Structure 1
Amino acid sequence: MLAPERSEQTLKYLELLSEKFPNQQSVFTEIINLQAILNLPKGTEHFMSDLHGEYEAFLHILNNCSGVIREHVDEDFGDTLTDREKADLCTLIYYPREKIALVRRARQDSPSWYKRMLDQLITVARRLSSRYTRSKVRKAIPHDFAYIIDELLHTHPDENNYRVRYHERIIDSILETDSTEDFIYSLAELIKVLAVDHIHLVGDIFDRGGGAAKILDRLLRCVHQRTDIQWGNHDLLWMGAAAGQPACIVTVLRNNLRYNNYEILENDYGISLRELVSFAERTYKAGDSITPLVKAINVMLFKLEGQIIARHPEFDMEDRLLLDKIDLDAGTVTIDGTSYPLITTDFPTLDLDHPYELSEGERRIMDKLVYEFTHTDHLRSHIDYLYRHGSMYLVRNGNLLFHGCIPMNADGTFASMNCEGTWRAGRDYMDFCDAIARRAWRDHDQEALDWMWYLWVGYKSPASGRIVKTFERSYIADEATWEEPMDPYFEVTKEIPACDAILREFGLAPGTGHIVNGHTPVKTIKGESPIRADGRLLVIDGGFCQAYHPKTGIAGYTLIASSRGMRLKAHEAFKSVDEALTRNADIQSETTRFDVPKRRLMVSDTDTGEDIRNQINDLRQLLEAYRSGIIPEHESA
């Protein structure tokens, strides 16, 4: 019976549930279905971070599922196919349209080739589909061939081989009706969807490489693949810019000009730089090591940052106020009592009496840029996606995911931050950061917008965690001034106690849970390991960005969590799609296995399993309500 103290509330809920399950038979059926799902293998999760606009490499890893496709092909065909034949099949799965076009140009597109490829694709798809419910597989099948593919995936030999002959006749009909190519496209897409159940992107889609917009366009099209994002500092920067924060906007311009990524601003998002370029050329001198355009952006940035710092003493960033420390006559800037020579004294818009006020020309430029960033539909759709699928952190299946750090003190305790008058630390601080970021997009109030800039660059920002020396790196030749102190998190989490404290803070069990973050490239070339504190911390920034390949020695990591445990794949650099097509060139990956379970993990071992058990409990209460007559049964719709 229902507990008296909560019967009224529970009864209302059960009455709503009865609309979906109107009688005992429908409840029985759903309980049986859910119990069966609990005993399926856990879905495969892939974790990646710091993509930084490297679209082609990201697309190839999506297509080859971080090497998982090749593993399945090897298992399915063993020695029955040669290495070349298996590589051809993999390339067909990765790039079906391009591969078929290549085969056609080589005049190898015979009916026997198409039939052989269809049979091989169905074999791979059938193996992968066995890990899911038939209902889930049906939802993932491209609509145009849903019935036919469903039949082929569930065709098995019988006593008289009727089903096998039925299968063969379907294949023959596909070939006869000239629908083979579209069918191959659909099977290839289904295989990629089934190979990876969930994708976690642990921050920094934007900046450095020029393909961030293409990455987000691709993610928007991944309707059958579950994806979540933990915001990185570069993502938060763009989110702040799209919400209209001027310092974030200027920083976005500076970052993309630094990496020569004009195309994402002008071609992808339609943001014109013509007026800014014209202003810079009229105002600043050419011939220095810094171009007029970069000079203009730098000065506007430092002025806007100074205004934020003045409004927010709680950010504790007064040491970043350096424009008023410039002596133009001496050509120096004074930092902590030491004078350093400037590499240029070209500061025509700097009023030393009011150093952090924009000039009239700068205000005009900023008004135009704010309007453009807040009124481009393409950018808005991408930022909407980041908000809908993203968060500051995620706790899932025993793993804690965030991009940068949990601000800490040197003794391993959580550092506190003044958040609109309330001191917060640990999970409470992370929750505040998540809420303030959403408020900036929803309400556009100055307080929240200023926090977006702090989340990008602040020492106690969980997405940044360092003192950023943009001014010194721009204007001082002495590299000793460039050093950027890091939050103690990055040092103390090399040891077990700090990691255990973080896991407990987020409700995870030390010794079984994992912290997964990116942000700081792992220099494997210098012997650094991504697996730290006895496996409690996994740092998966391996340097997707080409600029970091010489520093890291690899070209990115993928962390894979499957029913058979966890493994880390270190990727070599991706050459090109053309190389993949003509030479079957794949991204080669080195695999490190760890945290291997004693038994295979099932859905019952996951967060989804806990949700299903709660659903079963609710259904049992509904069943009891039907049996006791509290809720009347109805005929199924």
Structure 2
Amino acid sequence: MNQTTTNLSRDMHYLQLLSNSFPTIAAASTEIINLEAILNLPKGTEHFLADLHGESEAFLHVLKNASGNIKRKVTELFAGDIRDKERRELCTLIYYPEQKIELIKAAEPDIEDWYHITIHRLVAVCRDVSSKYTRSKVRKSLPEEFGYIIEELLHERTDDTDKAAYVSVIVDTIISTGRADDFIIALCNVIQRLAIDQLHILGDIYDRGSGAHIILDTMRQYHSWDIQWGNHDILWMGACAGNDACICNVLRLSLRYANLATLEEGYGINLVPLATFAMDVYGDDRCEEFIPILLKGNSLDEKTMRLTAQMHKAITVIQFKTEAQIFKRRPQWQMEDRCLLEAVNYEKGICTIGSKDYEMTSCHFPTIDPADPSQLTPEEELLMQKLHHSFRVCEKLRKHMKMLLSHGCMYLISNHNLLFHASCPLNADGSLKEVEIYPGKRYTGKDLMHNIGMMIRAAFTSDTESEMRQYAKDFFLYLWCGKDSPLFDKSKMATFERYFLTDKDTYKEEKGYYFQLRDSEEICDRILDAFEVKGPNRHIINGHVPVHASKGENPIKANGKLMVIDGGFSEAYHHETGIAGYTLVYHSRGFQLVQHEPFKSATEAIQKGTDIKSSTQLVELSAHRMLVADTDKGDELRSQIEDLRELLYAYRHGILKEKK
């Protein structure tokens, strides 16, 4: 018996199942032909974004313009044929079709002529962005009501004299039946859809900006995306799972930036109990350390500012208490030194860390018992019960967390690229560090990331045994601020020090060895080997730490092996980075890093045709145009082809009968 026959006898059950989908030699052969053809199409375009931090308007614009990719295609198609202003108008129409059409109809004297010209131009753009996909894939992207018409227009040209009248009548009829607006909107949405084949979000959708819930509402409808969880995402996941320390951190960060829209409007979290408690307890406190940071377009009157500061202090004190309770419950984390409420001399107004005394900015803590600083008062207990209930019963929050679980993980290997949000913990010599996550269980690298991901899921799984589930819920706090957490990887989170100590030297957070060593190509190769990332052109792609472009920092590190794409999407970081974020584009020609300037507003983009000002840096060009065959999808398709060839062998040698 030859090797093929041996394999067939071992895999007969699988082949019988496969024969249900391909019941004849003709069906199996046709599929092989189809898959072989797909292998030779250009690779689809991947987009990488990181650290969105609730900046929904800028994120949505980058999604609509495909990081400038649509503008580039419009320029290539129409350069020399139409004026620059018309190209800008066409791009804006593609990004915001509904709003732009209304403006044009109000100002355009010959709307039918505009419809004719615009539809033909949009069809040309759509034809260009769809050229690297199979007809079947394009067809699946088309809206049902216009699918047939768009497909016909994509595959017919007006320069074909035999079909010119046919195409012209289609466009005339779209206009005469009053469907031009809807057709243009549908066509623009298809262009947006096909411009990005796969979207990778490298973490931190939440906090600082006010639109995290809007971003996730958008992603619910998005065709293909994944996320590598960031520390801020984990914080919200922990809050949803019922970790009170995470709930406090979520509230504290929202109040710090006076961003209550996500909590109140996005998720309907009731903050009245917190406001009432804060006014009662801190009504006479100036709460100067807790005055919120106001971002773009956010202004508060004096009364609201004062109340926000009081709420901010109230939840911060409760946060330090609930964190201390968990640190004491989990001594194996070795984080009891962060129970700093116990290090305060409340009479003298000093805090002793190590052997050194530090002056406090203020020492007004009416809810703290110096004999047991981490104990909540009855009023704080009641408040936390109400807040805990609000987070646990919020249906929309749970849906969004379910999305993060279903589309997310701690790391991803995609087309020879290793994606994770922040860090892979290392020792001083660059070797992978063992980290204890389960009691007595230590892991490194890929195993560490995998088991953390499993623990996160365990916190949301009802059949997890109660003790393990409680540990998993507690572990969200370690992931947020633990020294060896791959999502943090610093010596400490100096939140207490920044609020309450006058000595700014105490604010320093020493970065882990990953951040100190990641400029080394050898270290990056060691990590890639540990994660079993194959290929000659392999990379690590991270976010998390803003790149200070204004100070000359380069996001491309380790001789091109590592790319850091957190350029400060959030306005809170613009003064640090000097820019407003990076996006990384990986198309069939190679990698392009796109550096963005701050986005003003969608309204200005619609009315004035402005776009995000972006500059593009070529990171790495491929020696040949990459095909589907060069990707993970190509490996998958080759495996399917091999299976189908075995099925053909079985049919042709009578091992299986065709189902005619």
Q: Deviations over 1:347-368 (max 9, x none)?
A: 1221222222222111111111
Q: Deviations over 1:249-290 (max 9, x none)?
A: 010000000011111111110101111111122123322414
Q: Within the alignment, does 1:149 sit opposite 2:150 as a pair?
A: yes
Residue in structure 2 matched with residue 89 of structure 1 by the alignment: 90
Alpha-carbon offset, residue 458 of structure 1: 1.4
The one-letter code sitting in structure 2 at the alignment partner of 1:135 is: S
Q: Within the alignment, does 1:324 sit opposite 2:342 as a pair?
A: yes
Q: Is the 8 A contact 2:416 2:535 kept in 1?
A: no
Alpha-carbon offset, residue 510 of structure 1: 7.5
Match for 1:452 among 476, 481, 493? 476
Q: Within the alignment, does 1:428 sit opposite 2:453 as a pair?
A: no
1:541-552 to 2 correspondence within 5 Å?
541-552=566-577
Residue in structure 2 matched with residue 596 of structure 1 by the alignment: 621
Alpha-carbon offset, residue 298 of structure 1: 1.4
Alpha-carbon offset, residue 123 of structure 1: 0.4
Residue in structure 2 matched with residue 634 of structure 1 by the alignment: 659
Distance 1:262 1:457 in 2: 23
Q: Within the alignment, does 1:163 sit opposite 2:163 as a pair?
A: yes
Alpha-carbon offset, residue 195 of structure 1: 0.9
Distance 1:200 1:446 in 2: 31
Question: When the two structures are superposed, what TM-score results if normalisation uses the length of structure 1?
Answer: 0.97
Q: Is the 8 A contact 1:511 1:536 kept in 2?
A: no
Q: Is the 8 A contact 1:53 1:209 kept in 2?
A: yes
Residue in structure 2 matched with residue 357 of structure 1 by the alignment: 375
Q: Within the alignment, does 1:216 sit opposite 2:234 as a pair?
A: no
Match for 1:419 among 437, 447, 450? 437
**Distance change >3 Å, CA 177–CA 25, structure 1 → 2:** same
**Distance change >3 Å, CA 168–CA 539, structure 1 → 2:** same
Alpha-carbon offset, residue 8 of structure 1: 4.9
Question: When the two structures are superposed, what TM-score results if normalisation uses the length of structure 2?
Answer: 0.94
Q: Within the alignment, does 1:472 sit opposite 2:497 as a pair?
A: yes
Q: Is the 8 A contact 2:53 2:212 kept in 1?
A: yes
Q: Deviations over 1:455-507 (max 9, x none)?
A: 11112111111221111011112211101111110010111111111111111
Distance 1:107 1:211 in 2: 34
Q: Deviations over 1:12-43 (max 9, x none)?
A: 11111111100000001000000000000000
Q: Is the 8 A contact 2:8 2:646 kept in 1?
A: no
- Structure 2 residue runs without a partner (length 5+): 291-308
- Structure 1 residue runs without a partner (length 5+): none
Q: Is the 8 A contact 1:407 1:426 kept in 2?
A: yes
Alpha-carbon offset, residue 294 of structure 1: 2.1
Residue in structure 2 matched with residue 177 of structure 1 by the alignment: 177
Q: Is the 8 A contact 2:346 2:370 kept in 1?
A: no
Q: Is the 8 A contact 2:255 2:311 kept in 1?
A: no
1:70-89 to 2 correspondence within 5 Å?
70-89=71-90
Alpha-carbon offset, residue 185 of structure 1: 0.5
Distance 1:35 1:312 in 2: 55
Residue in structure 2 matched with residue 65 of structure 1 by the alignment: 66
Give aligned-pair identity as a percent.
46
Distance 2:594 2:267 in 1: 34
SS of match in other structure, 2:593:
strand
The one-letter code sitting in structure 2 at the alignment partner of 1:360 is: P
Q: Within the alignment, does 1:500 sit opposite 2:519 as a pair?
A: no
Q: Is the 8 A contact 2:594 2:615 kept in 1?
A: yes
Alpha-carbon offset, residue 419 of structure 1: 2.2
Q: Deviations over 1:76-100 (max 9, x none)?
A: 1120011011111101000001111
Q: Within the alignment, does 1:608 sit opposite 2:642 as a pair?
A: no
Moved over 4 A (4+): 1-9
Q: Deviations over 1:275-322 (max 9, x none)?
A: 111112212332241433222211211111111111222222122111
Residue in structure 1 matched with residue 456 of structure 2 by the alignment: 437
Which deviates further from its counterpart, 278-287 or 94-103?
A: 278-287
Q: Is the 8 A contact 1:122 1:153 kept in 2?
A: yes
Q: Deviations over 1:383-408 (max 9, x none)?
A: 11111111100000010000000011
The one-letter code sitting in structure 1 at the alignment partner of 2:30 is: T
Residue in structure 1 matched with residue 244 of structure 2 by the alignment: 246
Residue in structure 2 matched with residue 53 of structure 1 by the alignment: 54
The one-letter code sitting in structure 1 at the alignment partner of 2:103 is: L
Across the two proteins, how many residue pairs are aligned to each other?
632
Distance 2:145 2:531 in 1: 44
Residue in structure 1 matched with residue 564 of structure 2 by the alignment: 539
